[in-house]
Chain A
Amino acid sequence: MALAKRIIPCLDVDKGRVVKGVQFVDIRDAGDPVEVAKKYNEQGADEITFLDITASHEDRDTTVHTVEKIAAEVFIPLTVGGGIRELSDIRKMLNAGADKVSINSAAVYNPEFVKAASDRFGAQCIVVAIDAKRVSAEGETPRWEIFTHGGRKPTGIDAVEWAVRMAEYGAGEILLTSMDKDGTKDGFDLGVTRAISDAVRVPVIASGGVGNLQHLADGVIKGAADAVLAASIFHFGEYTVPQAKQFLRDQGIEVRL
């Protein structure tokens, strides 16, 4: 008997459609988010993460409706991220049926926001998303920094220290994305995953770079991730969630099958 490692399909949603870009270009359409979420729910996904990458404000109302529709049909935890900047944004998403919200750049600009959000809604529903990029040269002690604006803007903040601080401020979970690996299908950045998972007591979700099932297993065994997030390997039918879980189980990882 043990807690299962979680497999979390991620829906990047733009203007009401699931999309997946490879390093932020070449965006492919992967369908209607409600249908995609239902498919993963039926396949036995452990949670679903919904990232709203829509830029404009009007389209964000679409997101609220989409979250409502998903929550009415999908009875597993649902995390919603993208554009969460104020307590009222969190309230709106939780009322729409989200179980957790993911806070990204708003945490970088105003760390106190995480504290306020956790105090108000409870740590269990506050995920802090960290976009990290390796800044050390080959041969140096590895070091990663937080980047904003889809990996383009450095902040000078050390990723491991930032994760520790966010957990202290009341993050209930860390969603860690490697901006070097995201979209490459090259596997997670296991170094930063391991460093952060060892440094914080809260669960860590590894994200960015999954191209095959071995990558998921490596994230858990070598990266010590508590959950693994992937998008394109599931969206385009390369693998199903049950195949991924069976693969992890065969490597001695506890899963919910």
Chain B
Amino acid sequence: MNCKHIAVIDYGMGNLHSVASALKKVAPDIKVSVTDDPNIIASADHVILPGVGAIRDCVAEIRRLGFDRVVKDVINSGKPLLGICVGMQAMMSFSEENGGADCLDFFPGRVNFFAGNAKFNQAHDEGSSSGERLKVPHMGWNQVEQVLAHPLWHNIDNNGRFYFVHSYFVEPENKDIIAGRTHYGIEFAAAIAHNNIFAVQFHPEKSHDNGLQLLENFLNWNGK
């Protein structure tokens, strides 16, 4: 059986209960630590970097607690690392949020505001015949096109739906790391993958069967 140890990094920015209970749901025998202890994170087999709220606060807390180095060590160790929502955004170099905020710079690229994009602002809602302008935040269930074959997509239908809630989207400089794409007025990176890192803009812990499958795939992944 699975006796793996999963660390969910807790830097005080929101509710991690749902991530932990979704992990327990797919693998009741694993040990899940919601933790701010660098030693526990270092000893875990798999690491999750979640995040909700404003990016400047998130990045400031990650740095203040020394988690930028901790996460860097996880990346260098080859252990599977999953970034969720603002956890994914924090991996880029820079975000437009909060009047501009430097991020952790694991991947060159930007995090941009939907409503700051001219093409987005001219787009119309394709979800019904009322054809309204698109709302911000992008909130609800949207489709993810799997543009890169990856173990984390195992048993998930291409263009399957996941739950999103965000006003900013990731734009990596290296388009080859985009693992999933979503259309909301414009195309944006819903998932990125590079070596032992997988990061998603949506919330797998809130995405019903598809989300639980993705978390199960993450637990079964060796990071290669």
Q: State the A residues within 8 Å of B (CB).
A: 1-6, 41, 44, 46, 71-73, 75-77, 94-99, 121-125, 172-173, 197-198, 201-204, 220-222, 224, 226-227, 252-254, 256
Beyond A75-B22, A198-B132, A201-B135, 7 additional contacts (C-beta under 8 Å) are A1-B142, A124-B137, A201-B115, A226-B135, A226-B139, A254-B128, A256-B141
The residues of A that contact B22 with a CB separation of less than 8 Å are 75
Query: Which B residues from 6 to 49 make CB contacts under 8 A with A?
Result: 14-15, 17-18, 21-22, 25
Task: Determine if B196 is an interface residue (Cβ-Cβ < 8 Å).
Answer: no
Q: Which one, B159, B163, B183, contacts A77 given CB within 8 A?
A: B163
- Kindly report which residue of chain A lies nearest to residue B131, judged by CB atoms: A224
Task: Determine if B221 is an interface residue (Cβ-Cβ < 8 Å).
Answer: no
CB <8 Å contact, B14 and A3: no
A2 to B136, CA, bound (A): 14
- Kindly report which residue of chain B lies nearest to residue A124, judged by CB atoms: B165
- Kindly report which residue of chain A lies nearest to residue B138, judged by CB atoms: A3
CB <8 Å contact, B17 and A227: no
Query: Which B residues from 37 to 81 make CB contacts under 8 A with A?
Result: 52-54
User: B134, B137, B205: which has the most chain A beta carbons within 10 Å?
Assistant: B137
A254 to B143, CA, bound (A): 11
The residues of B that contact A73 with a CB separation of less than 8 Å are 25
The distance from the CB of B133 to the nearest CB of chain A, in whole angstroms, is 8
Binds A, one of B87-95, B102-110, B170-178, B206-214: B206-214
User: How many chain-B residues does the 8 Å CB contact rule pick out?
Assistant: 46
CB <8 Å contact, B183 and A220: no
- Kindly report which residue of chain A lies nearest to residue B51, judged by CB atoms: A122
The residues of A that contact B21 with a CB separation of less than 8 Å are 71-72, 97
Q: Which one, A94, A198, A226, A256, contacts B15 given CB within 8 A?
A: A94
CB <8 Å contact, B211 and A75: yes
A201 to B14, CA, bound (A): 24
The residues of A that contact B166 with a CB separation of less than 8 Å are 124
The distance from the CB of A163 to the nearest CB of chain B, in whole angstroms, is 13
CB <8 Å contact, A5 and B128: yes
A5 to B40, CA, bound (A): 41
User: B21, B53, B115, B139: which has the most chain A beta carbons within 10 Å?
Assistant: B139
A1 to B126, CA, bound (A): 8
A152 to B80, CA, bound (A): 56
User: B135, B159, B166, B167: which has the most chain A beta carbons within 10 Å?
Assistant: B135
The residues of A that contact B17 with a CB separation of less than 8 Å are 71, 95-97
CB <8 Å contact, B25 and A75: yes
Please, could you name 22 A-B residue pairs with CB atoms under 8 Å apart, sorted by A?
A1-B126, A1-B183, A2-B143, A3-B125, A3-B127, A3-B140, A3-B142, A46-B140, A75-B25, A75-B205, A77-B163, A77-B165, A122-B14, A125-B52, A172-B137, A203-B135, A203-B137, A226-B140, A252-B128, A252-B129, A253-B127, A253-B128
CB <8 Å contact, A75 and B207: yes
- Kindly report which residue of chain A lies nearest to residue B162, judged by CB atoms: A256
CB <8 Å contact, A121 and B14: yes
- Kindly report which residue of chain B lies nearest to residue A120, judged by CB atoms: B53
CB <8 Å contact, A4 and B128: no
CB <8 Å contact, B163 and A123: no
- Kindly report which residue of chain B lies nearest to residue A227, judged by CB atoms: B140
The distance from the CB of B88 to the nearest CB of chain A, in whole angstroms, is 15
CB <8 Å contact, A76 and B145: no
